[in-house]
Amino acid sequence: MSEKYLMALDQGTTSSRCIIFDRSGNIKALAQKEFEQYYPKPGYVEHNPMEIWSSELSVTMEAMAVMGVKCEDIEAIGITNQRETTILWDKNTGEPVYNAIVWQCRRTAGMIDEIVSAGHSDKIRKITGLVPDAYFSASKIKWILDNVEGARERAEKGDILFGTVDTWLIWKLTKGKVFVTDYTNASRTMLYDIHKLEWSKELLDIFDIPKCILPKVMPSSCIYGYTDESILGGRIAIAAAAGDQQAALFGQCCFEKGDVKNTYGTGSFILMNTGKDPIDSSNGLLTTIAAGLDEKPDYALEGSVFVAGASVQWLRDSMRMLKNAAQSEEYADEVSDSAGVYVVPAFTGMGAPYWNQYARGSIFGITRGCKKEHFIRATLESIAYQSYDVFKAMEEDAGVNITELKVDGGASANNFLMKFQSDITGCTVKRPKCIETTALGAAYLAGLATGYYSDRNEIRKNYNLGREFDPSFSEDKRNELLKGWNRAVKAALLWADDQN
């Protein structure tokens, strides 16, 4: 019997990708295509759902063509996607009702303020595990129903469907036969009861959303349906769907309670598997559903840092201190410390555990001796300090001691940053050989659904360590550095709070 492959469709915020993996998790083909970002007004971010679909379809065909495989060579497809992004379309014609409203879009911030003022925060938090915010799908759905002429009437008649990007892609791949989402994506809509595992009638009423537009929610790893023959020329099982961060947690083999991963991209997304018990955070973290195989899913705690790798982009593009992101490592290594300089890159406010939307970027401790190298080093260190703050919050919420951290994402390539992260947290930092963990997670979930893999242990054997970083700071040194960081954050927050 010839070897079969797993295909991951990785639909991200700026590009659509298709990666074909072999059984050992090696990349056999990769195709990627960027698509247009639309900014119709300040703070508004949209995508065209048809461009999401066509870019994803074209990279899928490209990856198959480059590798020379046919549909029968592909065991199954796993989908992973930008989360929360909201699409409404006509179920009869397949035409989108409006552009996709992207997770970053702030147009519904005022709607959320009203919901908070009406006293719904605790309820939302208890039912969905989320902090009320325009980030999640609920207010975006309501915005489309309220602002597109005729949309609400058509929705109430049952002619409109809502989906996050996974749902949209599955519906398109099956030519409208399958209308589903998975637990992880549902848990980011702010409409899903993560404890009872059902759409919350109470929240649907608050947001005035008709239940008939919502997809059926299923586990992240199961066969939802098959690609229609007219799409790729054959039938392939669509056997997994998971939001990007949850897929990365799975791709990093964080299967056990207490396992943690950090993805260092534009921002940093830190997730901890908390097993069958959802943990209610007292420190501003989110409770969400992790990708798994069972009807009864695992849960995760999530904390995000808004600006991580983006601070390096800022050094490169706005400060013009770097030619490329990788150069930041060389500069940081040229000095033995940051000369007491602390950068707080709160360009868009601060996320967990501070949650201050008025904080802004600040720099402290500059003396006459501060050079560009110190400045760059302090910026990289700030990525690690911000992640440290989320780990501390997680340790407190979960009542555990984190000893090991799995890392991925573009900025995890920076060895200085990874070593400093290890030093400042006191954890061992493990970077896998293949940092495409998001796509890998979706592929693994699909392979488990069809029996291609017998169980998670088989997948664990695929984990290939690229490099490990061990802590070497003394307790005193760590404490001293952290004291400086805490002072810097305190000062940045004071500056924000004192503005009126």
Query: Footprint of ligand ADP on this chain (CB under 6 A)?
Result: 265-266, 309-310, 312-313, 325-326, 328-329, 409-411, 413-414
CA–CA separation, 50 and 229 (whole Å): 20
* 166: nearest Cα among 207, 125, 107, 225: 225
Cα 236 off chain centre by:
26
Q: Which 3 state secondary structure label does DSSP give 490?
A: helix
Task: Give me the least distance between CB of 376 and ligand ADP, in Å please.
Answer: 10
Task: Give me the least distance between CB of 225 and ligand ADP, in Å please.
Answer: 28
Task: Give me the least distance between CB of 19 and ligand ADP, in Å please.
Answer: 14
Identity of the residue numbered 288: T
Task: Give me the least distance between CB of 128 and ligand ADP, in Å please.
Answer: 24
Identity of the residue numbered 439: A
Q: Which C-beta is closer to ligand ADP: that of 245 or that of 283? A: 245
Q: Which C-beta is closer to ligand ADP: that of 289 or that of 312? A: 312
Secondary structure element (H or E) that encloses residue 246, with its range: helix 244-251
304: tokens are 């995000």
289 contact partners, CB below 8 Å, separation of at least 6: 183, 184, 186, 187, 194, 246, 297, 298, 299, 300
Task: Give me the least distance between CB of 31 and ligand ADP, in Å please.
Answer: 16
Task: Give me the least distance between CB of 5 and ligand ADP, in Å please.
Answer: 24
Q: Which C-beta is closer to ligand ADP: that of 159 or that of 329? A: 329
The dihedral through the CA atoms of 280, 106, 36, 98 has a sign that is positive
Task: Give me the least distance between CB of 98 and ligand ADP, in Å please.
Answer: 25
- Residue owning tokens 């970002």: 37
* Angle subtended at Cα 124 by Cα 220 and Cα 161, rounded to the nearest 5 degrees: 50
Q: Which C-beta is closer to ligand ADP: that of 34 or that of 113? A: 34
Cα 250 off chain centre by:
12
CA–CA separation, 101 and 114 (whole Å): 20
Q: Which C-beta is closer to ligand ADP: that of 72 or that of 330? A: 330
Q: Which C-beta is closer to ligand ADP: that of 182 or that of 329? A: 329
CA–CA separation, 494 and 492 (whole Å): 5
Q: Which C-beta is closer to ligand ADP: that of 231 or that of 325? A: 325
Cα 143 off chain centre by:
23
Q: Which C-beta is closer to ligand ADP: that of 134 or that of 435? A: 435
Q: Which 3 state secondary structure label does DSSP give 229?
A: helix
CA–CA separation, 36 and 72 (whole Å): 32
CA–CA separation, 374 and 136 (whole Å): 38
Q: Which C-beta is closer to ligand ADP: that of 46 or that of 298? A: 46
Task: Give me the least distance between CB of 74 and ligand ADP, in Å please.
Answer: 25
CA–CA separation, 297 and 330 (whole Å): 43
Q: Which C-beta is closer to ligand ADP: that of 206 or that of 322? A: 322
Q: Which C-beta is closer to ligand ADP: that of 133 or that of 329? A: 329
CA–CA separation, 238 and 223 (whole Å): 6
Task: Give me the least distance between CB of 326 and ligand ADP, in Å please.
Answer: 4
**Number of other CB atoms surrounding residue 478 within 10 Å:** 16
- Residue owning tokens 């065991």: 75
In the complex, residue closest to ligand ADP by CB: 410
Task: Give me the least distance between CB of 374 and ligand ADP, in Å please.
Answer: 17
Q: Which C-beta is closer to ligand ADP: that of 142 or that of 377? A: 377
CA–CA separation, 52 and 166 (whole Å): 11
453: tokens are 């893999």
Q: Which C-beta is closer to ligand ADP: that of 51 or that of 73? A: 51
DSSP annotation string for 404-452:
EEEEESGGGG-HHHHHHHHHHHT-EEEEES---HHHHHHHHHHHHHHTS
Task: Give me the least distance between CB of 413 and ligand ADP, in Å please.
Answer: 4
Task: Give me the least distance between CB of 375 and ligand ADP, in Å please.
Answer: 14
* 36: nearest Cα among 89, 105, 99, 127: 99
Task: Give me the least distance between CB of 179 and ligand ADP, in Å please.
Answer: 28
489: tokens are 């954050």
Cis preceding linkage at 96, omega within 30: no
